[in-house]
Amino acid sequence: MTISDERSTEVSGPVSGHPHNTRKLSWTQRPGLLSQNLLTAIVFGVIGYLIGHWFGNYLASGYSYIANSGQNSIANTLALAFGVVGWLGGIGALNYPFAKLFGVDGLEEESPVDNWSKYFRYSLDHKIVGLQYVVGVLLFMFTGGLLAMAIRTELLNPTTHIFSPDVYIKIVSEHGTIMMMMATSIIVGPLGNYFVPLMIGARRMAFPRIEALSFWIFTAGYMVIFSALPYGGFPTGWTGYAPLQTQAGPGMVSYLLGFAVIGLGMILAGFNQAVTIINYRAPGMTWSRVPVFVWSILATAALLTLATPVLFAGGLFGLLDKTVQTAFYVDEHGGSSYLWQNLFWFFGHPEVYIMALPGFGIAGELLPVFCRRPLFAYKVSAAGMIGVALLSFFVWQHHLFQSGINPDMRPLFMLTTELISIPTGFIYLVGMGTLYRAKIRFELPMLFVLALFFNFLIGGVTGVFLSDVPVNVTVHGGFFVLSHFHYTIMGGLLFAFMAGLYYWLPKMTGKMMNKKIGKVHFWLMFVFFNLTFFPMFIIGLLGQPRRVFTYATNLQGLNDFSSISAFILGFSFLVFFFNLVYSMWIKPEVAPANPWESLGLEWQTATPVPSYNFERIPVIMTEPYRYSEEGAPAFADFGPKDAPDSPTHTMA
């Protein structure tokens, strides 16, 4: 059977959740609380944790952080690792591999009962996983955001302190780590999983089990990283530089293992996306007809797959140093603290493009819809994303200009870093070209896209300052760089995520987000984002290093201005959450089938999307984005309704 045969016929695979199944329900399929779900995952996770902790202490009880405390790195590592395995077993991620291992056939993982409980289970439907991711990343973001509020509260005054320096540095570290790990998945997870199959005319992801696994690993990784706080936190920031890492207490284990766990989920998610996009495109969807959002996810997937293993390995080396006393990062014993810096940033720089690219993709996807004209320079935009992805592997030492590593390589890394602004500039060419003589509709998603272009410009231009080694001497390690990456990640990615949510939630939920509250949210977020972070450029130039609990008293005015703006920025997220609850549950407004009059494939199928996505696999007829063009053919041909091969008819 060829792939295209499979595409057009296979609808009763593991994803379909078909009603014909008349066999007796196995225990994994029972509805509600009776089967494997979030609760069993928690119970198994806790049991795994306790077993791991006991086992670790059994192995290595003599090496406690504090005498007789029962806390040692081996126990902590094994506890968290066993906890993750328990969590995955509890949710049911291991049923299929074990069934295969023991030769059990015909295991049905999907419950035939179709109610709310499916959202709390191990689901192989990419749309359910997408929605699970929405809740997951919002929870992640909310936690990180609260920590940000704590940071800005401490920085209100240089001499009066809310937190001890110890607590403060742990808050900073946890904020950075949580936000960075959240941002890797914030678009690829929710919107990528939900919409990539729909946008390429597929009925599922290539590997539905790996898709579900990546989500449940992501949630486990979140809890592992968060467990650092009850363990007493870690003092290294999200960068975890090595001698400090080696010196740190039990919380460091959570950081290192958390990176390894989330890294594993990122690798799996990336490779699943890449395989899906390459192999599951509908007939007729040639590479020049792939929506730009899908291009951006493909470029991101390449980075996820190729860069994250380095983080994974780096985290494991750190764990070995902490548990079995290897010396990868210990200078005194023949290791090198530069090794961690190199490994970390070799991942860390592609990582920032893992965050930026999906944002560009959303911008490119939404612009033609709200400009009512085709995307300008489609091929340039795809080339830009691929160019950024490729170059991002060759710039990592620009984080280490003053570190003393390879001083003679600095001109090269300055060059590659500045070269990357060429493909990034392509995105601006595409954006500005698409606005040219358009008929712009100022709907909520469009406002967020426009804000992205405004914010990312400032983030990008300040990036050029940072890449210039002489200027880097002043701006490295200070609030300038901090502001720079908040402008790119928050100002770019998070605004794109909001654009994507306002745009696609009507498809995902069948309900429109309230426009008035949405506008309040947008304006608060846009204005106070800029008022929070723009002063930080000046604060940084005036000499305030990052991650400090105290600062020069003459900078208090600017810091207070930034803090107060940050509180209102935080409030704007509450407005968003209120809008979400209000529009989804309090006063839902039914969304029209295609509220934005998009030509995209995802809007051409029914809402709510049936589990098999399309009655028939569409055949793509032409380029995407042929808006306002008289006589343009429809993007896709869906064939006649009730055709013999539609899934409502049983196939032989």
Partner 1 sequence: MTNKSTNSTGQVHHLRRMAVVWVIASIIGDILFSIFVAPHVPPGRLTETAAKDQTDFNILFEMALPVLFGVWIYLSYALYFWGDKRNSDVAFSGDAARSNMKTQVSWMVITSVTVLFLAGFGTWALVVDHGSGGGQGPNPAFTPSGSLKAETAALLGKATWSPGSKNILPVQVIGQQWKFTYRYPTFGGFESSQLYLPADTTIAFNVTSLDVIHSFWAYQLGVKADANPQVNDVAFTTTKDPGSFIVRCSELCGIWHGAMYNNGAVLSQSAFENWATTTEAANAANTALLPAFAWTYVPDANGAAGGYYPDGTLTPYSPSEVYGSKQPS
Residues 227-256 within binding reach of partner 1 (CB under 8 A)? 235-237, 239, 241-244, 247
3 state SS of 624? coil
Pick from 64, 117, 326, 556: which binds partner 1 (CB under 8 A)?
Answer: 64
Rounded Cα distance between 362 and 194, Å, is 14
Region for residue 583 given its phi and psi (left: phi exceeds 0; alpha: psi -120 to 50; beta: otherwise): alpha
Pick from 355, 414, 508, 566: which binds partner 1 (CB under 8 A)?
Answer: 414
First to last CA, the chain: 14
Asked if 166 is part of the footprint of partner 1 (rule: CB under 8 A), the reply reads: yes
Contact residues for 360 (Cβ-Cβ < 8 A; gap 6+): 296, 381, 384, 385, 427, 496
Rounded Cα distance between 551 and 90, Å, is 48
CB nearer to partner 1: pick between 233 and 265: 233
CB 37 within 8 A of CB 120: yes
Q: How many residues does the chain have?
A: 652
Asked if 70 is part of the footprint of partner 1 (rule: CB under 8 A), the reply reads: no
- Going residue by residue from 323 to 362, which x/- string records binding to partner 1, judged by CB under 8 A? --------xx----xx------------------------
Rounded Cα distance between 16 and 18, Å, is 5
Q: Which residues in the 466-505 window bind partner 1 by CB under 8 A? A: 467-474, 476-478
Pick from 93, 151, 352, 438: which binds partner 1 (CB under 8 A)?
Answer: 438
Asked if 464 is part of the footprint of partner 1 (rule: CB under 8 A), the reply reads: yes
Rounded least distance, CB 478 to partner 1, Å: 6
Binding footprint of partner 1, residue count (CB under 8 A): 96
Rounded Cα distance between 199 and 471, Å, is 44
Asked if 51 is part of the footprint of partner 1 (rule: CB under 8 A), the reply reads: no
Rounded Cα distance between 512 and 274, Å, is 31
Asked if 428 is part of the footprint of partner 1 (rule: CB under 8 A), the reply reads: yes
The pair phi, psi for residue 538, each rounded to 5°, is -70, -45
Q: Which residues in the 274-333 window bind partner 1 by CB under 8 A? A: 331-332
CB nearer to partner 1: pick between 209 and 626: 626
CB nearer to partner 1: pick between 78 and 414: 414
Asked if 453 is part of the footprint of partner 1 (rule: CB under 8 A), the reply reads: yes
Contact residues for 18 (Cβ-Cβ < 8 A; gap 6+): 11, 12, 112
Asked if 519 is part of the footprint of partner 1 (rule: CB under 8 A), the reply reads: no
Asked if 19 is part of the footprint of partner 1 (rule: CB under 8 A), the reply reads: no
Region for residue 97 given its phi and psi (left: phi exceeds 0; alpha: psi -120 to 50; beta: otherwise): alpha
CB nearer to partner 1: pick between 284 and 543: 543
Asked if 33 is part of the footprint of partner 1 (rule: CB under 8 A), the reply reads: no
Q: Closest by alpha carbon to 248, among 237, 261, 258, 259?
A: 237
Q: Which residues in the 167-186 window bind partner 1 by CB under 8 A? A: 168-169
Rounded least distance, CB 162 to partner 1, Å: 14
Interface segment toward partner 1; rule CB under 8 A; list 302-310, 498-506, 550-558, 591-599 = 550-558
Rounded least distance, CB 619 to partner 1, Å: 22
